[in-house]
Copies of this chain bind each other. A is one copy, B any other.
Amino acid sequence: MTSAENEVADRELAVVADLAGEIGEADSLAPAVTRAAVILDLLAENGGVAAGPSELARRLGLPKSSIANICAALADAGLARRVGTGFTLGRKLAELGGAYLASVDQIQEFYDACHELEVGSDETIQLAVLDGTEMTYLARHDGRQPVRLTSQIGRRLPASVTATGKAALASLDTDEVARRFEGVELPTLTRRSLPTIGALLADLEVVRGRGYSMDDEETVEGVVCFGVAIPGREPGDGPYAASITLLKARATFDRVPQLIADLHRLAERLSDPLHGEWTGQAAAGRRDDQRP
């Protein structure tokens, strides 16, 4: 880490300490943009219900006028939408979100690779990326299972209760994991969710030795997941992870090892930057039956 980065980190730390819990608004050089991002977050949490400037201002502890101006700008840009007198998320977010997903090489490759897996192609496979202490789900391969028990794309889940999260965390140093979870309370979605950071670190050690992670009804009762890590291709690109989701009744002793093997094949393929070059943004030109 450069000294400049250290300085920035220090300053952020100080400011966060000063605000003591309010919104994490470090004094950005473009406050309006930072606030706009916070507003979008708030609108996302609202789940489709429109929120007026007054409500937003109250919940953010910011001046009402300022919020109104920013919201108007967001609406003009299509990032928000005026519904009645309030605001909701706008269409352009779908466009930008799709563009982001399309820009991640691993995602393109993921979809292709899942179809070619021998056993796993029938199952629900997901790709996620570690972000702080949570996982953001980026892609999903729906097997032939009629039940749709998977989270939707773009959704975030705590890393400590998911197979993807534990696989991604296990690819990090123990120090780094401890640092990230400093002062974070582990959420318990089921009785089996890991309750403490100590339990998490111990489980990660098991994951490292075993080569894959397991979520044994820690997110949802009756559902198990297996996960493997996929390193990012550029520094600073958080570790990715893929997982297979199963109803516990389907996790038989002969089937699971095959699925694990498929996961490792998938991870190997997504880890290899060479494949990225091949099937990356210019993939349209490539066909399996391509011959001169």
Tell me the A residues contacting B by CB distance below 8 Å.
26, 28-34, 36-38, 40-41, 43-44, 47-49, 69-70, 72-74, 76-79, 81-84, 88-105, 111, 115, 129, 131, 136, 138, 146, 148, 152-156, 234, 236-237, 280-281
Contact = CB atoms under 8 A, between A and B. Distances in A.
Contact of A49 (B26, B153, B281): B281
A271 B281 CA distance: 37
Contacts of A43: 99
A96 B40 contact: yes
Contact of A47 (B32, B48, B102): B102
A185 to B, nearest CB: 21
Given A98-B152, A281-B48, A29 B136 contact: no
B138 A94 contact: yes
A98 B37 contact: no
B93 A96 contact: yes
19 contacts: A30-B69, A32-B33, A33-B36, A33-B70, A33-B74, A37-B74, A38-B77, A43-B99, A48-B105, A83-B236, A88-B103, A89-B96, A93-B97, A95-B97, A95-B136, A95-B154, A96-B97, A98-B152, A98-B154
Contact of A48 (B29, B74, B81, B104): B104
A98 B84 CA distance: 23
A72 B11 CA distance: 15
Contact of A92 (B37, B78, B236): B37
A153 B30 contact: no
A41 to B, nearest CB: 8
* Complex A-B, nearest 5 residue pairs according to Cβ-Cβ distance, in ascending order: A97-B97, A98-B154, A48-B103, A37-B77, A44-B99
